[in-house]
Amino acid sequence: MKISVKGCGYLGAVHAAAMATLGHEVVGVDPDARKIELLQSGETPFFEPGLDEILRAGLASGRLSFSTETERAAGAQVHFIAVGTPQSADSGSADLSYVRAAIADLLPLLGPDQLVVGKSTVPVGTAAELARLVSETGARLAWNPEFLREGFAVQDTIAPDRLVYGVDRESGDADAAVLDAVYAEALAAGTPRIVTDYATAELVKVAANSFLATKISFINAMSEIAETVGADVVTLADAIGHDERIGRKFLGAGLGFGGGCLPKDIRAFVARAEELGTGESVAFLKQMDEINLRRRQRVVDLVVGSFDGSDLGDGATPLAGRSVAMLGLSFKPNSDDVRDSPALDVAARLHALGAVVSAYDPETNRNAAARVPDLRYCDSVEDAVRGAEIVVLGTEWLEFRELDPAGLRTQVERAVIVDGRNALDPDAWRGAGWTYHGMGR
C-alpha cells in the first residue's frame, strides 16, 4: 500500500520506517530540511534503539523515502498525521496549529478512496472537526492513536499491544478495513483491535497517559509520606505490586515523569475537560502534576541540605562555588529526548542556585546544551564527577546503574550521592563509604 507520513519526529520517523518494514511504500514528509536530509541519507535525527537498522533497510529496499514537499504524498491511499501537539505557550491546552496546518497542506492532494489517519495525541473533539474538512475532498478521516514508548518505539510500532481505530459512523467499516490492511501483520499475530468512534479513540489515548501519570504520582506521594516517617517506598512498591490488581510496573518512585507526552497530555486533558464544563472530573490530574513537580524540588533540597550551613552562599545563590556532578539529562534512559526532562530541570535549578554543574549523559548532551547552555557538559562519568562535592543521578541509564561505588569514591571531593531514580543499591554505596540519599527511602 502507498502511505504518506506527515511529521517525521520521534513518532513519525519511526512510523514511516516501520511501515516500510511491513512492506508498504512510504514517503515521510516534514518541513524540517535538516531532519529530512538526515533521514534520506540513512542517519537518524535522534537516538532511538533499532531505528537506524529499519531506516537503512527501508531506504535500501526503495520503499522508503523522505521529502520536505507535501506534494510527494499525492496518490497515497493512507496519509498518517504525526505532527506535534505541544503544550500552548500561555496555557495547559494543546497547541493544535501543527495538526491544522498539516491537514491544510494535504487537502489539495486528497480525493475519494483516500484515508487520512491521525496519530498525534489530540483533545477530544478534534477528529470530528477535522473530518468535516477532509470529507469535502471526498476523502475520509480516522483517528488511530499511538501508544509507543520512546526507547522501545520500533518494537512498539511493529508489534503494538493494541490497535485503536476511531472511525466515522457512516464509513467506519470500510475505513477499518483499510487500517486492517496497513496493520495486517500485527493483526495476524493476534494484536487486539478496538474499533470505535472518534471521541472514544481520542479519550483512550489521554486516559491511558493520565492513568500512567497517576500511578507514578501515587507512588511519589507515598514517597513523601515515607520520607516523613522513615519508611522505604521501594519496599512498599514491591509489596503492593505483588497484588496483581495493582501490579509493580510504573511504581518507580523518584524524580517523576517528564518527556514530550505525559506532562503535556494531562495538562491538555484538564484544559479540554474545563472547556467542556466537566473540569471537576479530572481536577485530580492537577494534583498529580503538582506531586510530580515537587519531586524535582525535593532533589534540589537534598543537594542544598547535604552541605553544612557554613559552606553555603547567601540569598539566592546558596550553592555558589559548590561543585555538583549530574549523571543523566534525558527524561528517561534509552532516549535523547529532553522535553520536560526532570533531570535537566534539576540541573538547571542547581545551576540557578549558583552551583557549577558538571553534566554527563550518554546520548543527550547536545540536546540538553541547546536548552540549558550554562552547564559544564562532560564526555564521561569520570570527567563529570572529578572533584565533585555531590553526585546526582537524574536518569537511570544502565551505564550509571553499573557504576562501581568504590572506584568512583576516589575521584570525588565528597562522597555524597542523591539517587534521583532509586536505581542504585543503597547498601553497596554506603558500604563503599558514600552518604546515600534515595527518593522516599
Ligand X SMILES: O=c1ccn([C@@H]2O[C@H](COP(=O)(O)OP(=O)(O)O[C@H]3O[C@H](CO)[C@@H](O)[C@H](O)[C@H]3O)[C@@H](O)[C@H]2O)c(=O)[nH]1
Ligand Y SMILES: NC(=O)c1ccc[n+]([C@@H]2O[C@H](COP(=O)([O-])OP(=O)(O)OC[C@H]3O[C@@H](n4cnc5c(N)ncnc54)[C@H](O)[C@@H]3O)[C@@H](O)[C@H]2O)c1
Q: Which residues contribute to the site for ligand Y (CB under 6 A)?
A: 6-12, 29-32, 35, 82-85, 98, 101-102, 105, 120-121, 146, 148, 150, 260-261
Contacted entry of ligand Y, ligand X, none for residue 10, CB cut-off 5 to 8 Å set by kind: ligand Y
Contacted entry of ligand X, ligand Y, none for residue 414, CB cut-off 5 to 8 Å set by kind: none
How many angstroms separate the CA atoms of 97 and 120, rounded? Answer: 12
How do strand 163-167 and strand 140-143 relate by DSSP bridges?
antiparallel
- The CB-of-413 to ligand Y minimum distance in angstroms stands at 39
269 binds ligand X (CB under 6 A): no
- The CB-of-293 to ligand X minimum distance in angstroms stands at 12
- The CB-of-270 to ligand X minimum distance in angstroms stands at 16
Contacted entry of ligand Y, ligand X, none for residue 331, CB cut-off 5 to 8 Å set by kind: ligand X
Burial class for 316, CB neighbours closer than 10 Å (0-12, 13-18, 19+):
exposed
Q: Are 121 and 145 in contact (CB under 8 A)?
A: yes
Cell 483499510 belongs to residue:
178
49 binds ligand X (CB under 6 A): no
How many angstroms separate the CA atoms of 434 and 415, rounded? Answer: 5
438 binds ligand X (CB under 6 A): no
Applying CB under 6 A, the site for ligand X has a residue count of: 21
Tell me the three state secondary structure of residue 405: helix
Q: 28 or 259: whose CB is closer to ligand X?
A: 259
Please say if 8 is a catalytic residue: no
Q: At 76, which helix (H) or strand (E)?
A: none
Q: Are 14 and 52 in contact (CB under 8 A)?
A: no
Contacted entry of ligand X, ligand Y, none for residue 98, CB cut-off 5 to 8 Å set by kind: ligand Y
256 binds ligand X (CB under 6 A): yes
- The CB-of-152 to ligand Y minimum distance in angstroms stands at 10
Among 117, 186, 204, 261, the one annotated catalytic? 261
How many angstroms separate the CA atoms of 299 and 152, rounded? Answer: 28
Assigned C-alpha cell, 221: 506521594
Q: 261 or 388: whose CB is closer to ligand Y?
A: 261
Q: 134 or 270: whose CB is closer to ligand X?
A: 270
Q: Are 145 and 117 in contact (CB under 8 A)?
A: no
Burial class for 329, CB neighbours closer than 10 Å (0-12, 13-18, 19+):
buried
Backbone angles phi, psi at 113, to 5 degrees: 70, 15
Binding-site ranges for ligand X (CB under 6 A): 121, 146-150, 209, 212, 216, 250-252, 254, 256-259, 261-262, 331-332
Active-site residue list: 261
